[in-house]
Chain A
């Protein structure tokens, strides 16, 4: 199951926030979207999961256009979205949150066991099934949000800023979980401001700036590309400029994905 976006534009009201986004997520791949606050990561996530409809362009899921489908049907086809800020049903119990996560598929798809395995990774949830979700700490809420997303046995999991507001230890746990899920065969689209951690875990990355993808490539390459290092990893040019090899590769990459004119940075 692969996801493909072709020249997608989307926005709120009249103005477009995303411009001509093209992106691919292959099966079993972690793709990370990195970019500053307000770049359009969440908007892109919402457009893929169906909370917003694109103004133009196509979204293909396994070659089939899905951009006109409502959220529920996209979820049924295997695209789950764990939104920014967790968005739990705060006044409801943990088990109710999880049960709602399964609203769409009673029949249980192959791979439904992932949740059970995942729950073993965060035993807190299993212990506190009858507690009210709103009383949980940030890390536990994030775990629950991911667990709720997994409950629909998705094939693609869209995670929007899962590390936001968590302690470094919890961030590490979340990223370990993401790897674990990928190893179980899920595709993952990970929107993150925490570029270093995201690139470290991802297979490929795309940099989004002002609603456009300005750079895309293997995560390892992006991790060492000077533009990225400077802007998103908090490292000066000097520190990475010695690896001329990588710079040239990044430049070539840009040129072949975007042509010479397409690059803003």
Chain B
């Protein structure tokens, strides 16, 4: 009995933090219609600022907490003023999502540059000695967490329901157009909501910091937990956010106590998937029809940019010739980076088909890489399979997973689809960590041999390079062909308007499933090659951060261009190799690039290049076709 109370208490504690994070999400979402993935970044930043002031400079906790909160809020206001609010009037919801992912990455990069990658532990505010309540032990920090969460929830509720400001905020959430018409300054309130969410995030980070080890990427984990909490509870309602947070905390603690700490993450993800499938809007719905549903449909898509067929062959041929000479001119380090770029590009081609053409956001593509990589590596190392059947088996497992995922998520649109794919990626993550007999757990799988086909070993960088290059060219030609043919047009039609596409006789379900399946197959293949290349595979190589990185590469390179992601992948993979001393800035730079591209270059680098280069005599590869 006592243990149960103890566990429930732990669940409430953890749940309070999730609830705070979820409140931040919900606040920004209701007022702007956008999921702000940067939310967790505010937490880390606030907490580390307190650490520096308190531990390094010896300031008292309370003043350092206040200053940290102020600084974080100011930073949030600047980000909101410069990027977030301007983006709202121009970008689609999915691009806004990408932009906030970029901002999150920038925060991580900033933390990496200032504080480095080691973990920090803030001392608890009121000592470490647990308080006794009868026979129940309570950590003083837990009281802080629950107390602060309670105060914030009550204060926020009072502000929203009882003040003039809150009334205007709710008006923006209900109907932004009508809010403008009654004279509410909507952009200013959007900025206010964003900054307030930053402040809440900072406070959440500060009070929870003594209970966890803070690292540069803790923000990402907090974002994901808060995101899951809010998705479970219902993003459009504040009680939903709070309930979702508490529920998630309880499930986590109960799972850890009675099942296994390794699978408690899987448990909460399972809960998320179930909620998404049966009640996509969350357990607690808001009373009225949400404007967000309207916004999800009101996407203004950028045009798909294409190169004319003859130019594509000409320039593609030239590029292949150049690429063939690479092993003879590059050193091994660069060649290695190039191989990785090409391997990731294989995944990206599929992902571009899925996101750029079919308009289905996938934040879990690395999950398919993991399935492929781990399956084939396990079969080769532990079961003595040959490479080719092992790779095919890996692809088969990804195919099955993608079809199951597609079947359960096909009803979901936009935001929820993104959520479901992310949950899938995280689920695979927690399995690769959890099944440590097979996968080697967190430390990874070692001793994966080089790829060997019919006795021929691809054991030098040059051999691996030629193999991957050949595969990329083959895949690119086939996919480009399919995109120019009926399949590509069907996907574009679905992206533009699924109902109209269905009315025109496009098999919407079939096409989406096919796009999903093909992208999963490609990711799986690339996951296997990745493992063979490194002779090693660990969860972080193909985990959720990798999924986000893939999305960055896609957006930076240019969605809907097929070739563009190659530029994105090259930029993020090769540049840090070229400028080793600057590698610490890699995260910051890629975050800035992602946010900048989402904001200013919706067609990415490649798409913008295509538009910029003048079209002379049809000799340059610029003949653009615009998809209706």
| Interface 9-mer from B125-133, B180-188, B384-392 | B180-188
| Interface 9-mer from A91-99, A172-180, A209-217, A241-249 | A91-99
Could you say which residues of chain B place their CB within 8 Å of the CB of A49?
181
| Interface 9-mer from A18-26, A31-39, A70-78, A119-127 | A70-78
| Cβ B171 vs Cβ A100 within 8 A | yes
- From B178, B180, B185, B289, give the contact of A89 (CB < 8 A): B178
| Cβ A71 vs Cβ B175 within 8 A | no
- From B174, B183, B286, give the contact of A152 (CB < 8 A): B183
Q: Mark B173-201, 1 if CB is under 8 A from A, else 0.
A: 01101111111110000000000000000
- From A50, A92, A103, A104, give the contact of B170 (CB < 8 A): A92
CB-CB nearest in chain B for A158: B181
- From A72, A91, A148, A149, give the contact of B174 (CB < 8 A): A91
Query: Knowing A87-B175, A88-B175, A89-B174 touch, does A71 contact B167 (C-beta < 8 A)?
Result: no
CA distance A71 to B177 in the complex (A): 10
CB-CB nearest in chain A for B288: A91
Could you say which residues of chain B place their CB within 8 Å of the CB of A152?
182-183
CB-CB nearest in chain A for B286: A91
CA distance A91 to B184 in the complex (A): 17
Q: Is B168 an interface residue (CB 8 A)?
A: yes
* Most B Cβ at <10 Å: residue of A51, A80, A87: A87
CA distance A50 to B185 in the complex (A): 13
CA distance A100 to B288 in the complex (A): 18
Q: Is A263 an interface residue (CB 8 A)?
A: no
Could you say which residues of chain B place their CB within 8 Å of the CB of A257?
none
How many positions in chain A have a CB within 8 Å of any CB in the partner chain? 29
CA distance A90 to B179 in the complex (A): 12
| Cβ B174 vs Cβ A83 within 8 A | no
| Cβ B184 vs Cβ A92 within 8 A | no
CA distance A103 to B180 in the complex (A): 10
Interface residues of A in 133-151 (CB under 8 A from B): 134, 148-149, 151
Q: Is A101 an interface residue (CB 8 A)?
A: yes
| Cβ B167 vs Cβ A96 within 8 A | yes
| Cβ B181 vs Cβ A75 within 8 A | yes
- From A103, A149, A151, give the contact of B184 (CB < 8 A): A103
Could you say which residues of chain A place their CB within 8 Å of the CB of B286?
91
Query: Knowing A91-B287, A100-B171 touch, does A51 contact B183 (C-beta < 8 A)?
Result: no
Could you say which residues of chain B place their CB within 8 Å of the CB of A182?
none
Could you say which residues of chain B place their CB within 8 Å of the CB of A87?
175, 177-178, 181
* Most A Cβ at <10 Å: residue of B174, B175, B289: B174
Could you say which residues of chain B place their CB within 8 Å of the CB of A99?
167
Q: Is A132 an interface residue (CB 8 A)?
A: yes
B359 to chain A, nearest CB (A): 19
Could you say which residues of chain A place their CB within 8 Å of the CB of B288?
90-91, 132, 134
* Most A Cβ at <10 Å: residue of B181, B287, B289: B181
Could you say which residues of chain A place their CB within 8 Å of the CB of B167?
92, 96, 99-100
Q: Mark A28-72, 1 if CB is under 8 A from B, else 0.
A: 000000000000000000000111000000000000000000111
CA distance A75 to B184 in the complex (A): 10
| Cβ A100 vs Cβ B184 within 8 A | yes
A45 to chain B, nearest CB (A): 10
CA distance A59 to B298 in the complex (A): 29
CA distance A149 to B167 in the complex (A): 17
Could you say which residues of chain B place their CB within 8 Å of the CB of A104?
182-183
How many positions in chain B have a CB within 8 Å of any CB in the partner chain? 19
Interface residues of A in 158-202 (CB under 8 A from B): none
Q: Is A204 an interface residue (CB 8 A)?
A: no
CB-CB nearest in chain B for A103: B183
Query: Knowing A90-B289, A100-B167, A134-B288 touch, does A72 contact B175 (C-beta < 8 A)?
Result: no
CA distance A90 to B174 in the complex (A): 7
Q: Is A155 an interface residue (CB 8 A)?
A: no
Q: Mark B149-184, 1 if CB is under 8 A from A, else 0.
A: 000000000000000000110110011011111111
Could you say which residues of chain A place their CB within 8 Å of the CB of B182?
75, 100-101, 103-104, 148, 151-152
CB-CB nearest in chain B for A13: B300
Interface residues of A in 209-250 (CB under 8 A from B): none
- From A72, A83, A89, A96, give the contact of B183 (CB < 8 A): A72
Could you say which residues of chain A place their CB within 8 Å of the CB of B183?
71-72, 75-76, 103-104, 152
Could you say which residues of chain B place their CB within 8 Å of the CB of A148?
182
CA distance A19 to B287 in the complex (A): 42
CA distance A244 to B168 in the complex (A): 56
Could you say which residues of chain B place their CB within 8 Å of the CB of A80?
181
CB-CB nearest in chain A for B183: A104
| Cβ A71 vs Cβ B170 within 8 A | no
| Cβ B170 vs Cβ A81 within 8 A | no
Could you say which residues of chain A place their CB within 8 Å of the CB of B174?
89-92
Could you say which residues of chain A place their CB within 8 Å of the CB of B178?
83, 87-89
CA distance A8 to B338 in the complex (A): 56
| Cβ B168 vs Cβ A89 within 8 A | no
CA distance A208 to B177 in the complex (A): 24
Binding site for A on B (CB under 8 A): 167-168, 170-171, 174-175, 177-185, 286-289
Beyond the given A91-B287, A149-B181, could you list 14 further A-B residue pairs with CB under 8 A, ordered by the A residue number?
Answer: A51-B177, A51-B180, A71-B180, A80-B181, A83-B181, A89-B171, A89-B179, A90-B289, A91-B170, A91-B174, A92-B170, A103-B168, A103-B184, A148-B182
Can you name 18 A-B residue pairings with CB atoms under 8 Å?
A71-B181, A75-B183, A76-B183, A81-B181, A83-B177, A83-B178, A87-B175, A87-B177, A87-B178, A89-B174, A89-B178, A90-B174, A91-B170, A91-B288, A92-B174, A103-B168, A148-B182, A152-B183
Binding site for B on A (CB under 8 A): 49-51, 70-72, 75-76, 80-81, 83, 87-92, 96, 99-101, 103-104, 132, 134, 148-149, 151-152
Closest 4 CB pairs of A and B: A104-B183, A91-B288, A87-B178, A72-B183
